[in-house]
């Protein structure tokens, strides 16, 4: 949700910033812009609607020499996508330029006050209010720019990660954060900053994650200085990045999402590694073992998440209730935070977020901790906010997910939730050793089973041709397959723009069955599990109304094969592990349909990967 990049050093500032913007484009692609201060101090600002490619085309022939620069790729919140609303924004006197990720909630009040003082605004953005406020303070109090930034931050309500440069000063870059991510890369005589570490991982592995309420001052030839808003010096805590550059490239695939779908055997192996030990007999999840008293006394578990992560959370409910007999509620983080939640210190809250930065999930984490619950995070992005704000947690270790639609993170989340459920069951003795070992052994087979499912890609590509021109889809499943149906429908919606509804199969007859006709295919997730006979009758109900059916079934299934128009067979799996296997054909189906329709599958319209605003 908006990406920002900054660079100060002797490298090619423009090239580094543009490359960084491409890496952050998954965060938003409504517009892009760059501000450069050249060695003589001139400030050049270039910005344009659309993707970073448009910005590059726009910059041809411009003076792009610089000692310091900042850049931005936008996901529009305040004001439509346009050249004017594109960042960087600048003060009326043209002295300072700012890029911003986040939202300023009190921008209207601040804007009205600045207008009364004679400030003129060009854009509809909240960010322009911020830059004008900083400059107003600087001019009217006579303070330096860093002090003005600190003072402005104290007046702002909302979320921000900002980077600031000033005309006439090619040697200084200022950054600040509150609730939006910002990481600083420390190189040899050069310093980077960005919304995540991907823009600078090839230049340095040393990263400092700025904390809420901190201001960083980066000056040429001086060590990085971090203070709080009261100008008290804060610790510069340097982390070593483990990311590699190959993780950020397509590696021969036409799209990141396809690469990520095909990476799943490997990502699942990474996710399991060290956690399913003794040949599958023991589950070792350190965040559970280290906090075992919290899980032993837990009376209730509340899972909070958004989007795909929420679907993984729904599977987590089935897993934990089945294996641990602890009641589980699954809440959309955006609803949870405003629902007057009732939590006690006997509750455990599990927050799931690929990015670790989703604003609603982060807010839910803070509320839960304030209420005394023990909060366990499940994230992918190492060093992101949710892992830092939770009491304990577990990374899914699937590597950077660049495709905006989540695929490998979903299966990683479901795998970690399975391990979490098993680890709790191991502690509470709600599964026998035999049950645990059987599941442990089956988990070790999952990466190979996923490899087999991926071999179905050519078949799904052919099948996708049959379905590309449908305008509506119904996705149905029961039990563990119900959240898989929801996730399959979401994948189709977001990358192909085809309307799709996910439904519990038995609920269909309470309304959606009215929609069924030849024109609306039903995708039915129907592996052999304890609800199999029930879903067979749901398949018959769709068939009886002339609906076309694509069913995901267990290998060897004859009953549904005789009813459905098309079947996709997946390897047999214990019921609780089936979602990891059945979700993969649905990812491939959505991918191929979207490609057939010529859609931008890695950057679907209106979306951003990391939703750092409400
Ligand atoms: C869908 C998708 C989104 C995210 C949601 C939460 O493919 O990617 O629905 O799942 O925005 O994001 P995280 O998991 O980063 O909190």
* 460, 467 Cβ separation under 8 angstroms: no
pLDDT-above-90 percentage for the chain = 89
Average pLDDT in the chain = 95
Give the CA angle between residues 238, 241, 245 to the nearest 5°.
145
Interaxial angle between packed helices 578-596 and 457-467, expressed in degrees from 0 to 180 and rounded to the nearest 10:
50
**CA-to-CA distance for 234 and 153, rounded, in angstroms?**
17
Strands 392-395 and 68-74: unpaired
pTM of the model: 0.88
In sequence order, what are the residues at sequence separation of 6 or more whose Cβ sits closer than 8 angstroms to the Cβ of residue 85?
31, 74, 76, 78, 79, 123, 124, 125
Q: What is the dihedral of CA 592, 262, 492, 522, to 10 degrees?
A: 80
**How many CB atoms are closer than 10 A to CB 364?**
30
CA distance 117 to 140: 11
> How many angstroms does the Cα of residue 606 sit away from the middle of ligand 1?
14
Dist. CA 406 → ligand 1 center (Å): 6
Task: Work out the average pLDDT over 346-373.
Answer: 96
In the chain, the N- to C-terminal Cα span, in Å, equals 11
Counting Cα atoms < 13 Å in the Cβ hemisphere of 70 gives 29
Protein residue whose Cα sits closest to atom 3 of ligand 1: 307
Evaluate whether 141 touches 151 at the Cβ level (below 8 Å).
yes
Structure-model confidence comparison of residues 84 and 66, the more confident one: 66
Where do runs of H (alpha helix) occur along 283-407? 286-289, 292-297, 307-324, 333-336, 359-370, 385-389
Catalytic residues: 2, 609
Return the higher-pLDDT residue of 603 and 476.
476
Q: Binning pLDDT at 50, 70 and 90, where does residue 242 land?
A: confident
Q: Enter the tokens of residue 155.
A: 């007046």
Distance in Å, CA 314 to ligand 1 centroid: 14
Lowest mean pLDDT among 41-50, 415-424, 447-456, 600-609: 600-609
Q: Is the pLDDT of residue 26 over 90?
A: no
Atom 16 in ligand 1: residue holding the nearest Cα: 353
Q: Grade residue 103 by pLDDT with cuts at 50, 70 and 90.
A: confident
Is residue 483 within 8 A of residue 579, CB to CB? The reply is yes
Choose one of 261, 308, 493 to mutate for the ligand 1 pocket test, by most ligand atoms within 8 angstroms of C-beta.
308
Nearest-angstrom CA–CA distance, 56 and 51: 9
* 75 close to 31: Cβ distance less than 8 angstroms: no
Res 249: pLDDT? 86
Rounded CA gap, 441 and 435, in Å?
A: 10
pLDDT for 150-172, tens place per residue? 999 999 998 899 999 999 999 99
Q: Count how many residues are written for the chain.
A: 614
Q: Find the residues whose C-beta lies inside 6 A of ligand 1.
A: 306-309, 353-355, 358, 361, 405-406, 490, 494, 610-611
Contact partners, residue 506, CB within 8 Å, separation at least 6 = 478, 534, 538
**What does each C-alpha distance from 229 to 236, 298, 352, 396 come to in angstroms?**
15, 38, 31, 34
Average pLDDT over residues 42-57: 96
Residue carrying the six token digits 């839910």? 364
Judge whether residue 246 has pLDDT over 90. Answer: no
């Amino acid at each position: 949700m908006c990406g920002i990049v900054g660079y100060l050093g002797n490298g090619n500032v423009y090239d580094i910033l543009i490359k960084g913007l491409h890496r952050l484009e998954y965060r938003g692609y409504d517009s892009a812009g760059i501000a450069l201060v050249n060695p003589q101090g001139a400030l050049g600002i270039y910005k344009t609607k659309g993707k970073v490619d448009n910005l590059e085309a726009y910059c041809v022939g411009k003076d792009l020499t610089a000692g310091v620069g900042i850049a931005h790729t936008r996901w529009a919140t305040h004001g439509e996508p346009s050249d004017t609303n594109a960042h960087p924004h600048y003060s009326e006197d043209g002295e300072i330029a700012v890029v911003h990720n986040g939202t300023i909630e009190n921008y209207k009040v601040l804007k009205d006050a600045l207008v009364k003082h004679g400030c003129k605004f060009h854009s509809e953005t909240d960010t322009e209010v911020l830059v004008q406020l900083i400059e107003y303070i600087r001019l009217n109090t006579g303070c330096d720019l860093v002090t003005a930034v600190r003072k402005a931050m104290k007046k702002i309500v909302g979320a921000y990660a900002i980077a600031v440069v000033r005309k006439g000063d090619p040697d200084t870059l200022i950054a600040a954060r509150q609730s939006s991510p910002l990481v600083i890369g420390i190189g040899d005589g050069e310093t980077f900053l960005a919304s995540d570490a991907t823009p600078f991982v090839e230049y340095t592995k040393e990263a400092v994650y700025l904390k809420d309420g901190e201001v960083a001052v980066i000056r040429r030839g001086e060590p990085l200085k971090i203070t709080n808003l009261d100008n008290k010096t804060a610790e510069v805590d340097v982390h070593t990045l483990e990311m590699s550059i190959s993780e950020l490239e397509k590696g021969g695939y036409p799209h990141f999402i396809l690469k990520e779908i095909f990476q799943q055997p490997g990502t699942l192996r990474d996710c399991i590694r060290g956690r399913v030990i003794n040949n599958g007999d023991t589950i070792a999840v350190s965040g559970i073992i280290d906090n075992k008293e919290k899980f032993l006394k837990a009376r209730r578990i509340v899972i909070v998440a958004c989007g795909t992560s929420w679907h993984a959370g729904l599977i987590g409910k089935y897993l934990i209730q089945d294996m641990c007999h602890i009641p589980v509620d699954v809440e959309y983080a955006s609803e949870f935070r405003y629902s007057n939640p009732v939590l006690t210190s006997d509750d455990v809250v599990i927050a799931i977020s690929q990015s670790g930065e989703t604003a609603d999930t982060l807010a839910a984490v803070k509320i839960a901790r304030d209420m005394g619950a023990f909060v366990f995070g499940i994230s992918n992005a190492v060093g992101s906010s949710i892992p830092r704000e939770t009491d304990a947690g577990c990374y899914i270790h699937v590597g950077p997910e660049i495709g905006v639609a989540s695929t490998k993170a979903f299966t990683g989340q479901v795998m970690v939730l399975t391990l979490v459920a098993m680890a709790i069951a191991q502690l509470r003795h709600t599964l026998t050793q035999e049950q645990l070992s059987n599941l442990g052994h089956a988990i070790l087979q999952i990466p190979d089973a996923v490899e087999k499912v991926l071999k179905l890609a050519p078949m799904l590509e052919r099948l996708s041709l049959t379905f590309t021109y449908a305008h509506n889809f119904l996705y149905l499943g029961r039990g563990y397959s119900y959240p898989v149906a929801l996730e399959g429908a979401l994948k189709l919606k977001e990358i192909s723009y085809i309307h799709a509804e996910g439904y519990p199969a038995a609920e269909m007859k309470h309304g959606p069955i009215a929609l069924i006709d030849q024109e609306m295919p039903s995708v039915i997730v129907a592996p052999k599990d304890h609800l199999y006979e029930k879903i067979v009758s749901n398949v018959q109900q769709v068939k009886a109304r002339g609906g076309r059916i694509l069913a995901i079934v267990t290998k060897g299934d004859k009953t549904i094969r005789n009813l459905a128009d098309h079947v996709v067979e997946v390897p047999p799996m214990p019921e609780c592990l089936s979602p990891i296997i059945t979700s993969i054909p649905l990812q491939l189906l959505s991918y191929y349909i979207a490609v057939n329709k010529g859609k931008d599958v890695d950057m679907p319209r209106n979306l951003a990967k990391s939703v750092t605003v409400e």
